Structure 1
């Protein structure tokens, strides 16, 4: 299969910003839920192991859809229908969360909601990669992540305001679902590059991608769910602050993530993806070590700043590197394979982190994360640099 890019670089930029706006609204809806979800799960009587199960399996299992949807978008020559289906499924899952009465029901509905992400992510990222030049791909992903994470700032701020206004968890979930359906509107004018059938009916992955996916999976194994960072923060506060303060810290995390996403993506274009990822992995190791040893609220604030910077460095650069390693005819498949592998690692990460948290203590969870991140930072420098792939 061959492709014609969107007509003109201006159209490509328009696609990136439209998809960024979709993500902004969708992530706002998600982040209305995210900072209160671990608190809601705990209120249903769940412990650390159950939270790890939800954080790992609910995020990891649907990642297998990313491989299938990415591959299918390459085969059928159309990505946008899968993107729309994924966002619609996520919106429905968020609305239904308001009806959950047990943590097991929360688990099922989170799997449903994250399955939508599994369906949309690889085709959407392929559209972003194809809407930017190779030398500007890191910045393109940085723009998308900046808009996405700004939505997280808006959403977590709304969560705090809605909580302060006296809304209960379930009502907040309903508000989040309504915002998620609004996110479908900016998707309508997105235009894909024209595709025409060719000889590549079975997209093949470059062997260069395999070692990097292994390193990214190792990092994901140590990068436990954000819910553990929220629960760690909650232990430093009492009364009303036990809910309000973790939400505010989560807003801080997303604000830092937003501010540094575009500069980090552009920096990866200039100095190379591997250098940026090495720094990001090492910074996560330092951050995790800090969460293991933290003993005061001021240090906790600094750690959430570093946590946001880690995501700004790592998230866009990983996706840009995968896109660099894949030709246009297999880009959806490559991104899907990356997401699937990282998702499986996330399942293991949630279970390991939850078991360590409940069996030994919070410190063990974060020390494990630091060790995995150090190992990933060493291994990534051994990966050959990508050849010039369009």
Structure 2
């Protein structure tokens, strides 16, 4: 589990460093706000939809490592290649390739994590993984910010990210050598055969998809900050780094809380983080900074306890498929929400902010239904 966390640390230095400047970079190459929002969402749509197939294949083949290695290689090596993009269309293709690589490796990696975190607690395990993940997400944007501060340009920023990309792949190969059979880390329990996933899984998927739809992707936020000159270009990746730092702390806290109170943790996180939109899109320097903190807190919850909850709902033999379906639904709604918010941005910030807050708030009643269903299942199991 720790080795996969270290892999994620170096991987996040790479692609989160790139993500912190993708919006301004596309703007520099001539893309519009609608294009940035559409591209950000399209990348997530393709990436998350592909996870459905990747999860199914990983379960059928049982070859988690080869799938994970291929996905990470595509995911990470597409980032430094952005330095060679002379047109926004080429940059878009590389950004989508990066998302595709992440899609291919995520279900298999999450399935391996679910086995490795059985003993210490799902929330703690996924929370620790996300915390290591976000240490990289802080270091990457800061490194890129340094490059931009010394006026070396966006292309140099992408080039230096080749180093952590190669380090991540090296650690991943080491982990593969040390732990060739991840399923051996979790003892399979006898489970009743079912024709599909339980009802609470689908309710949970809808709730999380609503949260995704209302969550503005950072490229659109960065585009806004550059367009209205709330902060300088060098400060944009710093704001992202701060959000990722909050993300790491939130992942540990919410992971710990999840092991004690379950789905209620996500309700608490959602009610707090949905306030990011008015702060980020309407605020000055200080207000935007607070908004980015809330945005990072929500991301910490999404990337840790959202995944941990799936392991409690899905049979061990169908983890890859469960994570694939979950991520595909999440990604479709992320795309639709991102594209719509990019469209809203071009004519009405009020519409953008209202959409973001209302859609996320709608997820809360569904999460409470999931909580009730989980409590009922536990009582029946005891009886």
TM-score, shorter chain, exceeding 0.5: yes
Residues 234 and 245, structure 1, Cα contact 8 Å, conserved in 2:
no
Number of aligned residue pairs: 369
> SS of the counterpart of 1:144?
helix
Match for residue 136 of structure 1? Answer: 121
Match for residue 121 of structure 1? Answer: 106
Tell me the distance in 1 between the aligned counterparts of 2:119 and 2:368: 21
Match for residue 200 of structure 2? Answer: 208
Match for residue 251 of structure 1? Answer: 241
Question: Residue 288 in 1 paired to residue 277 in 2?
Answer: yes
Cα deviation, residue 134, structure 1: 6.5
RMSD, aligned CA = 2.5
Residues 115 and 183, structure 2, Cα contact 8 Å, conserved in 1:
no
Could you say if the C-alpha distance between residues 163 and 213 of structure 1 is closer, same or farther in structure 2, counting changes exceeding 3 Å? same
Residues 338-384 of structure 1: CA distance to partner in whole angstroms, max 9, x if unpaired?
001111111111210111011x2333222211110110112211222
Q: Counterparts of 1:170-181 in structure 2 under 5 Å?
A: 170-181=155-166
User: When you count helix as a share of all residues, which structure comes out higher?
Assistant: 2
Residues 83 and 155, structure 2, Cα contact 8 Å, conserved in 1:
yes
Give TM-score, length-normalised by structure 2: 0.90
> SS of the counterpart of 1:61?
helix
Cα deviation, residue 207, structure 1: 3.8
Cα deviation, residue 299, structure 1: 1.5
Cα deviation, residue 233, structure 1: 3.1
Instruction: Give ranges in structure 2 of 5+ residues lacking alignment.
Output: none
Tell me the distance in 2 between the aligned counterparts of 1:194 and 1:363: 49
Question: Residue 21 in 1 paired to residue 6 in 2?
Answer: yes
Match for residue 311 of structure 2? Answer: 323
Tell me the distance in 2 between the aligned counterparts of 1:97 and 1:175: 11
Could you say if the C-alpha distance between residues 268 and 194 of structure 1 is closer, same or farther in structure 2, counting changes exceeding 3 Å? closer
Tell me the distance in 2 between the aligned counterparts of 1:39 and 1:286: 24
Give TM-score, length-normalised by structure 1: 0.88
Tell me the distance in 2 between the aligned counterparts of 1:199 and 1:150: 37
Residues 264-304 of structure 1: CA distance to partner in whole angstroms, max 9, x if unpaired?
101111111x211111211122222333442x222222111
Match for residue 337 of structure 1? Answer: 325
Match for residue 267 of structure 1? Answer: 257
Tell me the distance in 1 between the aligned counterparts of 2:367 and 2:142: 36
> SS of the counterpart of 2:151?
coil
Match for residue 366 of structure 2? Answer: 379
Match for residue 234 of structure 1? Answer: 226
Instruction: Give ranges in structure 1 of 5+ residues lacking alignment.
Output: 1-15
Residues 74 and 97, structure 2, Cα contact 8 Å, conserved in 1:
yes
